[in-house]
Structure 1
Amino acid sequence: MSAGERNLRDCLGQFASGVTVVTTRCGDGGAVHGATVSSFTSVSLRPPLVMVSLDRRSRLSALLAGGPFGVNVLAAGQSRLALRFAGRGGPVDEDVEWQDGGPAPRLAGAVAHFTCAPWAAHDGGDHVLYIGEVLGFDAPGGEPLVFHGGAFHALRGAAALGAGGR
């Protein structure tokens, strides 16, 4: 990575984002594959669409267009899970708790989950922008995991800000 690319990455890191793990199955009912993704956003309510951005060299990028996928919004206490699915915390298939049901793999304890069908894929330079149609969703709630400045954080004072912006 060049110095200019590193500086741009550091500057982009000043935008706080939520942390998700995007999951899918390899083939029909096959092994679960997933990756930690902070580039996730809503696109449309009619039809219900969301977008994730994946490095085009990643294995998940090659699998995502093939069938249903899940977007798991991680809770504040799930930073180890985020690291694991980012390839920095041990094998993905060990000690990961899954929640039953649905066509897309779902992580237990997530503050929200979206089940999506592939809608479109667009060139995004070294990434592919995958748009998924939301087939189902659930938000059990809780504090989300946040990524800012190259580190994980938890929200503080969110209730006070939402109550009056003080």
Structure 2
Amino acid sequence: MMSKPRSQPERPVAGRASAPRFHHFRGSLGRFATGVAIVTFDGATKRHGITVNSFMSVSLEPPLVLVGIARSAKAHDELAGRPFSVNILGAEQRQLAMHFAGWPGAKPVWVEGATAPRLAGVLAYFECTPWAAYDGGDHTLYVGEVTDFNYRRGDALAFANSRFTTLPESQLGIEELL
């Protein structure tokens, strides 16, 4: 089910004349460092994984997370209405990120989650049931209600300035302060 905001302003359609602005906009966005995640789910005929860096928490009660999936992604249409997992990658899992971004190499090791399939050995995971989906231009914004989650210690894989990097694990996380 695709929900739309109540009032949506008209958006100009980008054309070739705006290509330099598009690249400058994308380059500006690339200055924001993000983590790297893989969204996994069972499709109609096979298991899928999509590498993303558009991930955020939405709510603690109920526990909700959001992922942005490009409409151009091969598995985009199959994700609608399906349970999914968000797999946060550790610094050592760059090849896994590349594999699900379309550069086959590292073979994934799957774990049968209670709600959706996930990947073994990730830094953190969130199994989700569909909550809502929103039009996000050339992306769809999928919100999932978290049904299971966990994490391990380790450095995180990050992406900034069009390249992978590492975010070292802090000595004391907020979860240990609460």
TM-score by length of 2: 0.81
Alignment partner of 2:90 out of 57, 60, 75: 75
Where does residue 3 of structure 1 map in the other structure?
20
Q: How many residues align?
A: 157
Q: Deviations over 1:82-113 (max 9, x none)?
A: 011000234xxx72112343231111110000
Q: 1:85 is matched by which residue type in structure 2?
A: F
Q: 2:54 is matched by which residue type in structure 1?
A: S
Q: Deviations over 1:134-159 (max 9, x none)?
A: 11111123111000100111124844
Alignment of 1:5-154 (within 5 A): 5-27=22-44, 30-90=45-105, 95-154=107-166
Q: For residues 121 and 87 of structure 2, what CA distance do their matches in structure 1 show?
A: 9
Bigger radius of gyration, 1 or 2?
Answer: 2
Secondary structure of the structure 1 residue equivalent to 2:22: helix
Shift of 1:59: 3.0
Q: 1:26 is matched by which residue type in structure 2?
A: G
Closer, same or farther: CA 157–47 of 1 in aligned 2, 3 Å = closer
Shift of 1:73: 0.1
Closer, same or farther: CA 136–146 of 1 in aligned 2, 3 Å = same
Secondary structure of the structure 1 residue equivalent to 2:78: helix
Extract unaligned runs of 5+ from structure 1.
Answer: none
- Percentage of identical aligned residues: 46
Q: 2:124 is matched by which residue type in structure 1?
A: A
Closer, same or farther: CA 139–157 of 1 in aligned 2, 3 Å = closer
Q: For residues 135 and 151 of structure 2, what CA distance do their matches in structure 1 show?
A: 30
> Cα RMSD (Å) of the superposition?
2.1
Q: 2:164 is matched by which residue type in structure 1?
A: F
Q: For residues 119 and 9 of structure 1, what CA distance do their matches in structure 2 show?
A: 29
Q: 2:131 is matched by which residue type in structure 1?
A: W
Q: Deviations over 1:31-76 (max 9, x none)?
A: 2101100000000011110000011232332122232100000000
Extract unaligned runs of 5+ from structure 2.
Answer: 1-15
Contact 2:69 2:140 in 1 (8 A): yes
